[in-house]
Structure formats: C-alpha cells, structure tokens
Amino acid sequence: MHSIDRKKLRAWSLMLALAFGGMGMAAAQQPVAAPTRALPDFADLAEQVGPAVVGIRTLERARPGNAPSGNMDEDMQEFFRRFFGQPMPNPPGRQGPRPNRPQPDDEQQQSRGLGSGFILTPDGFVMTNAHVIDGADEVIVTLTDKRELKARIVGLDKRTDVAVVKIEATGLPTVRVGDVGRLRVGEWVLAIGSPFGLESSVTAGIVSAKQRDTGDYLPLIQTDVAINPGNSGGPLINMRGEVVGINSQIYSRSGGYMGISFAIPIDEAIRVSDQLRVAGRVTRGRVGVQIDQVTKDVAESIGLGKPMGAFVRSVESGSPADKAGVEAGDIITKFDGKVIDRATDLQRLVGNTKPGARATLTVFRKGASRDLNVTVAEFEPEKPIRPAAAKESDKPKSSPAAQSVGLAVSDLTEAQKKELKIKGGVKVEGVSESAARAGIREGDIIVQIGNVDVNNVREFDAALARVDKSKAIPVLLRRGELASYLVIRPARG
C-alpha cells in the first residue's frame, strides 16, 4: 500500500509539472503588446532640407543721430526690435555708445537685424518674412557652405509678412513645397533657422492648430516648435521633408518663446511670392465695407440661426458694395458661393480676388437671403486722415503719423497729469477711421502705443512710427479713472 501511494504521488507530480509547463508555454505564445511608438528621428530631414535654408543679415547706412548701440550684439537688437517694437535700451548709467568706439560716418554700414529664409529656385530666389528685410539698405544671404552673397529685394508684402529676395548664383539646393491641406493637427513638424545668429539650428514640435485667426491677413498654422529671434523667415517642414509654412511670429508676454509659435501657410505664401516675382507688388481686391463679427445673440435674434458671416457696419459711399446695393446692417454670408464663417473670411476672399472681377455677394437682410452682383475694385493702402477735430485755433494740428491711424492728439498739462494721477500720456483731440473703429473717443488719454510708454506727442509719434500699421496696434488708454486696452486694426476689405 505504501509503495502504491508513492507511485501515485510521482504520477501526480508529473501531471502537475506538465500542466504548469504547458501553461508557461501557452503564456509564452501569447502576443506581446505593441511597444509605445518611439519619437521620430529628424536627422535625415535635417540633412535633406538644411542645405536649402539660409541665414539673412540686414544692414542699414549709418545716418546722423542713428549711432549704433555699441553695448549689445546684433541678435539681441533684433530680439528687441521684433518682439518689443523698439531698440534695446542702454543699461542704467550708460546713455550712449561705449567709450573708445568710433562713431560711424554717413557712408558706413551697421547691422540692423537677423533672420532666416529658404531657397525656392536653383537660380537664387529666396523666400523670407517681410519684417526681416523691411527698411534694410542691404541684405546679405549666408549659405550653408559659408558663402555670403548680396541679395536684391524683389518685393515684400507687409500684410502677409512675405518677402522674396534674389541672389546671383546657380545650381543651388531648393526646398520642396508641401500640401497644407494634408497637414494634420498633432503632426510632427520641424523648423530650421538661425535663432540669435546660431546658424542651421533645428527644433521640432507638433502642429497645435490650423487656420488660427490672429488678426493678420492670413490664417496661420499654430505649433509648439521653439521659435526665437532669427528664426523668422525660416521653413516649417513636415515629416516628408516638404515646406508647409514660414515661421513668422510667437505669442509671448515676456518677449521670449513661451510654447506658442505661428507660421504662414506655404500655399498662401507661394501665391504672394508669385505676384512679387512678376510685378514686385501684390494686388488685392476690395468692395468697400466695414465689417464685424456676428455674435450668437444677434444671429439668434434676427433668425440667422448660428453666428456666421460678416456684419456690415457701414458701406463706403461710391464703393463697389454701395453700387451693388449692400446696406449697413446686412450680413454677408457668402462670397462667390464660398461660405463666410467669420468676418475675416470675407476680407481674405475679397483680397484674393483679382480687381475687376465680378462676384456674387449673398447677404442676409430682414430674415431673408438675396444675391447681389459686385465688381471688385483694387485695394489701396489706408490714406492719412485729417481728423475732423475742432478749429485750428483751438486745437493743435496732429502729426502725419497720428493722422495715418485716424487720431489727433495733444500734450497733457501738468494740472491734467496731477488730476489723473499719471506721469504722462497724450490727450485725444480728434478721432476718425481706424481709431474710431477701435472705440477710441475724444478725451481719452493714450499712455501706451504697441506696449511702449508715451509721455508726450513727440514720443507718441516715435512709437507709432515703429509699429507695423498693416497689423493690429494695441493701445493702452485711460478713460476717466479706468484703464482699457483697445486695438487699432488696418482697413478692412
């Protein structure tokens, strides 16, 4: 009996071993979970596109009263010029150039700024940002093989911030242009440029959003790619090695990169560059309406259903819209059959239409839609406005800089400063056009233009001269005891 039990015990042990061994084999045969997707390798893309990316350095002739700062390098000057709209201030206690540094004469050149660009054609057409070369007396393009070539400015367009320059060379490496329509939110993208003059720097991130309306003429691509001064004008590249945008702007409260950057869609940029290469300028259409967004409350109250279209605040007398029968209070819902979701859509669609072309405006008026035929005119830059203020004997004549945005201003008296408990500012004496649309009123006290303090009319003119009037201009003002931010925007199509 004892020997039989031992035999049974051995048999049971063998059976258990086989059972557990089989379970182990079965477990080993189970499919292994897919590993987490690794980050992409950007090395091949950098080698592929890098040779077609260039550095851009701009120079300006030294003029009397325009001495160089002398105590900081050119990349920091570009940092302050691009993101603060003014030259970098001298440190406390240093009010001029360093001692023993010679002052430039009228014929000398001094560095003005840094940027990037990329080569479009083998014979030397280069695309960059308009703000990189605007105002430059000389443009120097640096290739990856260290050659430095003088560039001729073919044309620039401030409204889209696109520019084209030409260098005399052949057989140059070029970029491939991608399809922005295929670009997806969350897709990896790459930037190559010269931040702070550090040539051929590569940064990467993802597309955060498309069609981002920042108030500029074009809807922009938002990314989290690190962009800094000197990157402006460089390419945004997809994982196929194609350029999908031009790195142009950042959102920042400090002046440095804060995780949000913007690029101009390459399809729009190419359309602009083609016109610049042919004619040196960009022609745009206009119909002569002042427009605004349609709010949810308004849309529901008038029977439109959802907030869409462009609300017509006013119609310019004698304009194409006036001749077509557009009235103030209309809501333009379509332009040539294309739906207008936001007011800026109309501005862009009209702007992209060739002057002289006929188009159909669909307007919503008194609960019903109707089609109106319009002949698109050519857009002209906003002309300086002579404000209709008080009599010449009563109020000072405003400067051309102030008139260009529809303002007339005067210095504050010491009594007014004391009463308002402020150190400086200018008083608004007259308002029209852009300033009026922004909501600025007579009697307001403007204390900042484009984030620059203004203590008197002279400083107001200087600050206004530095800002790009084709883009939104932030204005900080005092109205009574309350401070407000308003935005002066360029003329709308």
Which residues of the chain are in CATH 2.30.42.10 domains?
288-378, 400-488
pLDDT at site 275: 92
- Residue 171 CB neighbours (<10 A): 7
Of 157, 161, 444, 461, catalytic: 161
pLDDT tens string 255-278: 566 788 999 999 999 999 999 998
2 assigned to active site: no
Question: In angstroms, what CA-CA distances link 185 with 181, 224, 238, 259?
Answer: 11, 11, 12, 16
Is residue 132 classed exposed, middle or buried when 0-12, 13-18 and 19+ CB atoms within 10 A define those classes? buried
Query: Pick from 242, 246, 196: which is nearest to 223 by CA?
Result: 246
pLDDT tens string 416-438: 888 877 788 899 888 887 788 88
Q: Does residue 56 contact residue 115 with C-beta atoms inside 8 Å?
A: yes
Tokens in use for 375? 């002949």
CATH number corresponding to 42-89+107-282: 2.40.10.120
71 is in an annotated binding site: no
What DSSP string describes 8-77? Answer: HHHHHHHHHHHHHHHHHHHHHHSPPPPPPPPPPP-HHHHHHHGGGEEEEEEEEE--TT-----SS-HHHH
**Would the pLDDT of 84 be above 90?**
no
**Would the pLDDT of 230 be above 50?**
yes
Tell me what the pLDDT averaged over the chain comes to: 80
456 is in an annotated binding site: no
pLDDT tens string 14-34: 565 555 555 555 545 555 555
CATH 2.30.42.10 fits 288-378, yes or no: yes
pLDDT at site 390: 40
Residue 189 — pLDDT band, cuts 50, 70, 90? very high
Of 232, 404, 410, 470, catalytic: 232
pLDDT tens string 32-44: 555 556 778 899 9
Which residues of the chain are in CATH 2.40.10.120 domains?
42-89+107-282
**Would the pLDDT of 212 be above 60?**
yes
Question: In angstroms, what CA-CA distances link 118 with 54, 153, 164, 177, 441?
Answer: 6, 14, 10, 11, 45
Distance CA 224, CA 260 (A): 5
- Residue 42 CB neighbours (<10 A): 17
Helices (H) and strands (E) in the chain, counts: 12, 27
* Alpha-helical runs (H) found in 388-488: 400-403, 414-420, 433-438, 457-466
Distance of CA 42 to the CA centre of its chain: 26
161 is in an annotated binding site: yes
Residue 391 — pLDDT band, cuts 50, 70, 90? very low
131 assigned to active site: yes
% of the chain beyond a pLDDT of 70: 74
Distance of CA 249 to the CA centre of its chain: 5
pLDDT at site 453: 82
pLDDT tens string 328-365: 888 999 999 999 998 888 988 998 899 999 999 999 98
pLDDT at site 313: 85
CATH 3.40.140.10 fits 400-488, yes or no: no
User: Rounded mean pLDDT of 123-139?
Assistant: 94
pLDDT tens string 141-172: 999 999 999 999 999 998 899 999 999 999 99
Distance CA 136, CA 113 (A): 9
Reported as type and span, the H/E element at residue 236 is strand 235-237
* Alpha-helical runs (H) found in 325-468: 343-351, 400-403, 414-420, 433-438, 457-466
161 assigned to active site: yes
444 is in an annotated binding site: no
373 is in an annotated binding site: no
pTM for the structure as a whole: 0.61
- The DSSP bridge partners found for residue 53 are 118
Range name among 11-15, 101-105, 271-275 with the lowest pLDDT average? 101-105
User: Rounded mean pLDDT of 136-142?
Assistant: 94
Distance CA 129, CA 466 (A): 17
% of the chain beyond a pLDDT of 90: 40
Of 131, 216, 330, 398, catalytic: 131
Distance CA 415, CA 417 (A): 5
